[in-house]
Amino acid sequence: MAKHPAKSIRFMAVALIVLIGCQAAPQNSGPEEGVLLVPPTPTAAITETGEALTQTQTTQTAPAVVKRPAGAGAVYQDPAQPVEARVKDLLGRMTTEEKIGQMLQPAFSSIDPKTVTQLSVGSVLAGGDGNGVDTPESWLGLIAGYEEAALESRLGIPLIFGWDAIHGSGHLKGGTLFPQDIGLGATRNAELVQQVARLTADEMAGVGVQWNFAPVVAVVQDTRWGRTYESFAENTELVTELGEAYVRGLQSVDGTINLNHPLAVLATPKHYLGDGGTTWGSSRQNIFDHPFMLDQGDTRVDEATLRALYLPPYKAAVDAGALSIMPSFSSWNGTKMHGNQYLLTDVLKEELGFEGFLISDWEGISQLPGNSYDQVVKAINAGVDMYMGTEWQNFYNQLDKAIENGDVPLSRIDDAVARILRAKFTLGLFEHPLADPEAFDRIGSAEHRALAREAVRQSLVLLVNENQTLPIAKATPLIFVAGQAAEDIGLQAGGWTITWQGQEGKVMPGTTILQGIQELAGSESQVVYDRYALFNDAAEAQGSLAKADVGIVVVAEKPYAEGVGDEADPKLSIVDLALIEQMRERADKVVVVMMTGRPIEITEQLPLADAWVAAWLPGTEGHGVADVLFGDYEFTGKLPFTWQRWNAQLPFDFASLPTYGCDAPLFPYGHGLTTKDKSPVMLECERP
């Protein structure tokens, strides 16, 4: 495909600035204003030959970087050597302090590049928010700066930079956003999901991000959970199939698993184990004065159920080559997952043969019982291999102390670091640690957006279509469109878009649903948009208010992420309900397009519209919705979750769920019409 000269020039300019900055920075310069540096901690002194002195011979500052003579022919520097030989060689050269450094993943906002060099930090992440960093150019420069700093460490161990690209690279303004996983689940198309993951990895590689904290392979049993949209489905088999496809897409190029390829990134199936099955009211977390109800709660099932319902996606991911897995914030029968040695080590690492490493969730270790020392000891001995968060200095100090006290054996540290190094060697980071310039050129490319548009088309689920209201004829004389969501990329994308919680408005370049409708409607058709469905300016020749042939109302949930989205009563907002009622008066036929992260209660509103479409959270390519509304493509999506008749039915008891009558769900799992199908008979049921 054609290259983008302007992007290529920007890539080279940023790379040159980073290189000059790394070469010109004085070794002993102080930190930039506002940058947090690690406090003095005991660290082993290093000799000129790279050997550590005895543990009792310590200094109170990080050692100066001592350059080895180009690796001196070290086995670990030779890409021709087997991965395990390289791991063994490098591990044997490392001090205990360097090993602890490899077990750190600080947020970039909490550590500066100089400290990365001093401590041989293993990883850096960008959390949900970029702290003002959002363009591809700014991310490219920031990430390269940290990577160059890691390469300046005594042994030159590259770091691995990670972030949550759960629906495309949501940190990149100008990148491509695909439908959230709930929409991909509706496609039931594993090949498409693998392609989505592949292009997500491609855009990550363009700025130097080598690690994706995805996919979420939760088997969600209660859609009131605020992370429902991050899941593919309520069905174990479908989650397993699509989760494996996503892992393969991230870690392969041209369909072949090859993590050593510069365009492959490390996948992280999460959140192990049972996070989709927590009990309402069992969480103790509270953020933004919003008490969590399900997120980070307790999964109360026996082991047979835990294994049958929630374990298969992880087995498939491990078999597909996943080398990183994230434990859940949640608990199993009262035991926090970050401290569950049986599930982390005995089941995952030994029984399933997982050879990769376990990365904690954000400050997940601090949720364990006891003081911070006890928490670190418990988590590391249970099997957590790397810490994630901003309190990394405390983790460093507590782990250092635990090793000295013998509460965490060095053999456990060696195991953790070997797992981390194994992933780095397999990824080829020692050979290509920096961003790929050609991939940078492809960020937000027409090719990527075309796939996202296709994913949107396949994700749409037609719930109701009375009197074959859909598809809409392109020659329809007058079409009304209403709702803020019709022209709001932020509402289309949902959470994890530029910021953790997401936000309304034009947060990303993209095509809104309204723009798609305007582009596809025929030249003889008039499209009139009114956010509030008033249409006061649309009048007949005689002066009376015009009535549209078709009215399209686009409604949406406000963006949210994680437990902030836990909701006891998911339903249409008062504003959106008013829009539908108003449109019913102004159009002969009414179509409602819902952009939500889960099924919401709509039973009483169904008679107000002729057609109802679940569009989920489609991302940046809203014209994919218009493609199907106008009949250029048929509806093919199927519900990945059972749709409640009333919220009081949640959570469902799937073992005894009625299939018909007022106690049955509104729409069953797998429901989805084509425009040629007859709509199901809607029962008149009283609210229980």
Asked if the domains 82-432 and 446-656 are classified in one and the same CATH topology, the answer is no
Which pLDDT value is given to residue 7? 58
Measured CA to CA, the distance from residue 209 to residue 439 in angstroms comes to 11
Helical (H) or strand (E) element with 325: strand 324-327
Tokens representing 185 are 């689940």
Q: So what's the pLDDT on residue 71?
A: 52
Rounded mean pLDDT, 204-231: 99
Which residues 6+ apart lie within 8 Å of 356 measured at CB? 322, 323, 324, 325, 419, 422, 423
Q: From the candidates 361, 415, 436, 567, give the one annotated as an active-site residue.
A: 361
pLDDT of residue 255: 83
d(CA 381, CA 346): 12
- Rounded to an integer, the average pLDDT of 122-141 is 94
Model confidence at 247: pLDDT above 70 = yes
CA angle at 515 for the pair 509 and 517, rounded to the nearest 5°: 145
pLDDT at 681: 86
Q: Are 590 and 610 in contact (CB under 8 A)?
A: yes
Among this protein's residues, is 562 annotated catalytic? yes
Sign of CA dihedral 13, 18, 23, 24: positive
The verdict on domain 446-656 having CATH code 3.30.465.10 is no
Q: Report the half-sphere exposure of 37 (CA within 13 A, side-chain side).
A: 15
Q: Is 361 a catalytic residue?
A: yes
Q: Give 119's pLDDT tier (boundaries 50, 70, 90).
A: very high
Give the pLDDT mean for 515-533.
98
DSSP assignment of 530-563 equals ETTS--TT-B-TTSSBP-EEEEEEEEEPPP--GG
Mean pLDDT of 177-205: 99
pLDDT at residue number 382: 99
pLDDT, tens digit (0-9, with 9 covering 90-100), for 586-641? 999 999 999 999 999 999 999 999 999 999 999 999 999 999 999 999 999 999 99
pLDDT at 20 exceeding the cut of 60:
no
Instruction: Count how many residues are written for the chain.
Output: 688
Which tens digits make up the pLDDT trace of 638-677?
999 999 999 999 999 999 999 999 999 999 999 999 999 9
Cα(619)–Cα(173) distance, integer angstroms: 13
CATH class assigned to 82-432? alpha beta
What gap in Å lies between CA 617 and CA 594, rounded to an integer? Answer: 9
**pLDDT bucket at 254, cuts 50 / 70 / 90:** confident
Contact 327, 358 (CB under 8 A): yes
**287, 329 in Cβ contact below 8 A?**
no
CA dihedral 533, 537, 540, 542 (to 10 degrees): 130
> What pLDDT score was predicted for residue 131?
81
Locus of tokens 């569009």: 615
pTM over 0.75: yes
Mean pLDDT (the chain) is 91
* Mean of pLDDT values over 399-408: 99
pLDDT of 530 above 60:
yes
Task: Identify which of 617, 614, 622 has the alpha carbon closest to the alpha carbon of residue 642.
Answer: 614
Statement: residue 538 has pLDDT above 90:
no
Cβ partners under 8 Å of residue 581, min gap 6 = 608
Checking if the pLDDT of 58 tops 60, the result is no
The answer to whether residue 244 scores a pLDDT higher than 60 is: yes
Select which of 112, 562, 601, 627 is catalytic: 562
Residue 496 has pLDDT above 90, yes or no: yes
2 pLDDT above the threshold of 60 = no
DSSP codes of every residue in 25-66: S-TTPPPPTT---PPP--EE-B-TTS-B--TTSEESSPPPP-
pLDDT band for position 113 (cuts 50, 70, 90): very high
Residues 6+ apart with CB under 8 A from 405: none
Angle between helices 303-310 and 236-251 (to 10 degrees): 50
At 132 the pLDDT is: 86
Task: Give residue-wise pLDDT tens across range 351-385.
Answer: 999 999 999 999 999 999 999 999 999 999 999 99
pLDDT at residue 128 in the model: 86
pLDDT at 545: 85
Q: For the chain, what is the radius of gyration of the CA atoms?
A: 26
Domain ranges of the chain: 82-432, 446-656
For residue 51, give both structure tokens: 């050997």
Query: How many Cα atoms within 13 Å fall on the side-chain side of residue 342?
Result: 6
